Chain A
Amino acid sequence: MEYLLIAINSVFIGNLILAKFLGICPFLGVSKKVSTALGMSMAVMFVMTLAATVTWILFHFLLEPLNLQYLRTIVFILVIASLVQLTEMAIQKISPALYEALGIYLPLITTNCAILGVAINSIEKEYNFLGMLVYAFFGAVGFALALLLFSGIRERLDISSVPKSFRGAASSLIVAGILSLAFMGFAGLVPG
């Protein structure tokens, strides 16, 4: 039950993009087409779960015993950067088809603050191992959901006539605002 709550919370109520403002750069950057959004979501789902797991283990079994918690940020970002690099190499070897599909999205993930945000958050919220796993995976599912919804809307937006100054960033942000308003409706799902 507890894990179900974490899952619902991270997909809908505490949606990474629409409620926590994490990963806005890729959200605005790769959401022009549904297909690219799908590729990005898959890459994020994969890396986010992996990165959260590795950083959680490192934090609890290396940094905490050595009393080096303040090095958290620097360690985490290095872990994420090298993890992305390793994943890229591994996928290239194991599954060239998947590598083709993820393509340029993998390296882009390094600067996706949602990954670091989830890694830091799962420490701050003091989740246990399983809780962290659920939190990270469903956080990524929420990310994918928002990205896909948004890219669908943007495909429509592109073919409609919009004033020049409103085109691009401004209209995207307003749409994101409305989307986030809709997601706020989920807040009643979990009591408290």
Chain B
Amino acid sequence: MRFYTRLLKQTIWHENPIFHQMLGICSALAVTTNLKNGLIMSLAVIVISMATNVTVSMLKTFIPRNIRLITEMIIIATFVIIFDQLLKAYYYQMSKTLGPYVGLIITNCIILGRSEAFALRNRVLPSLVDGLGNGLGYAMLLLPISFFRELLGAGSIAGHQVMPANLEPARAILLAPGAFLLLGIFIWILRGIQLHHAKEAE
């Protein structure tokens, strides 16, 4: 059990896919205009990365080495399509807003990277935890960013108006520059905290 909690902590914090390895940033920027989108997208990445890691780990002895990348791609694509179809069937409105970005989870380097670097070499259960950890690490940045973008850019939280009506929201935060700036600031703060910890440990 200790092993799993440590693995989880490592993937979420010490080797966080977004702010440490700079993976999967495209979608992290594109879908964070409000909290609901961020939530659904995080959910998608968590589920798909867990499912892919488990599948790749189970099949690792059957996958020929030289076509493993394509095989992994097909496995990822299968889960992405399943998720996309489910979204279309039960939450059509959300599927419209997220647009092509759900499909683009395929090229999200977090998932391919983890199945390549972890699931191919490890047993099923650790791979599951690794997938969960990386998905959560992704969510850990996605949710605060979408929270702040919605709060500052539209003055609401998950669609409910919270800011006073006479306060003009900064619309630019909802547009592309706001996403870059906010993610940059978040990464700056988190790196700062990590450096601080590292200094104290010394």
Q: Do A and B originate from a single complex?
A: yes
Q: Is A36 an interface residue (CB 8 A)?
A: no
Give the residues in chain B near A18, CB-CB below 8 Å. Answer: 176
Contact of A180 among B70, B77, B103, B177 (CB under 8 A): B177
The 8 A CB mask of A94-116 against B (1 = contact, 0 = none) is: 00000000000000001111001
Contact of A169 among B19, B74, B99, B175 (CB under 8 A): B19
B200 to chain A, nearest CB (A): 14
CB-based contact A78/B70 at 8 Å:
yes
Give the residues in chain A near B26, CB-CB below 8 Å. Answer: 21-25, 113
Q: How far is the CA of A21 from the CA of B98 in the complex (A)?
A: 13
Q: How far is the CA of A20 from the CA of B85 in the complex (A)?
A: 23
Q: Which 3 A-B pairs have the closest CB atoms?
A: A173-B184, A177-B180, A177-B181
CB-based contact B176/A180 at 8 Å:
yes
The 8 A CB mask of A165-186 against B (1 = contact, 0 = none) is: 1100111111011101101100
CB-based contact A165/B191 at 8 Å:
yes
CB-based contact B100/A184 at 8 Å:
no
Give the residues in chain A near B23, CB-CB below 8 Å. Answer: 25
The 8 A CB mask of B160-202 against A (1 = contact, 0 = none) is: 0000000000001001111111011101100110010000000
Q: Is B84 an interface residue (CB 8 A)?
A: yes
Other A-B pairs, 7, CB within 8 Å; known A177-B179, A184-B177: A25-B109, A70-B85, A164-B195, A165-B191, A173-B181, A180-B177, A184-B172
CB-based contact B107/A178 at 8 Å:
no
A36 to chain B, nearest CB (A): 16
Q: Is B108 an interface residue (CB 8 A)?
A: yes
Name the interface residues of B77-112: CB closer than 8 Å to any CB of A: 77-78, 80-81, 84-85, 99-100, 103-104, 106-109, 112
Contacts between chains A and B (CB distance < 8 A), count? 121
A: number of interface residues (CB 8 Å): 43
Residue of B nearest to A176 (CB): B180
Q: Is B125 an interface residue (CB 8 A)?
A: no
Residues of chain A at the chain B interface (Cβ within 8 Å): 18-25, 28-29, 70-74, 77-78, 81, 110-113, 116-117, 120-121, 124, 164-166, 169-174, 176-178, 180-181, 183-184
Q: Is B25 an interface residue (CB 8 A)?
A: yes
> What are 18 inter-chain pairs, A to B, with CB distance below 8 A?
A20-B30, A21-B29, A24-B25, A25-B25, A71-B81, A73-B80, A74-B77, A116-B103, A117-B100, A164-B195, A169-B184, A172-B184, A173-B187, A174-B181, A177-B179, A178-B177, A178-B181, A180-B177
CB-based contact B107/A116 at 8 Å:
yes
A145 to chain B, nearest CB (A): 15
CB-based contact B22/A25 at 8 Å:
yes
Q: Is B73 an interface residue (CB 8 A)?
A: yes
CB-based contact A173/B180 at 8 Å:
yes
Give the residues in chain A near B103, CB-CB below 8 Å. Answer: 72-73, 116, 120
Give the residues in chain B near A71, CB-CB below 8 Å. Answer: 81
Main SS of chain A's interface residues? helix
With contacts A112-B107, A120-B103, A174-B184 known, is A81 near B25, CB below 8 A?
A: no
A56 to chain B, nearest CB (A): 15
Give the residues in chain A near B104, CB-CB below 8 Å. Answer: 22, 113, 116-117, 120
Give the residues in chain B near A81, CB-CB below 8 Å. Answer: 69-70, 73
CB-based contact B85/A177 at 8 Å:
no
**Which of A29, A120, A173 has most chain B Cβ within 10 Å?**
A173
With contacts A21-B30, A28-B22, A184-B175 known, is A116 near B106, CB below 8 A?
A: yes
CB-based contact B181/A165 at 8 Å:
no
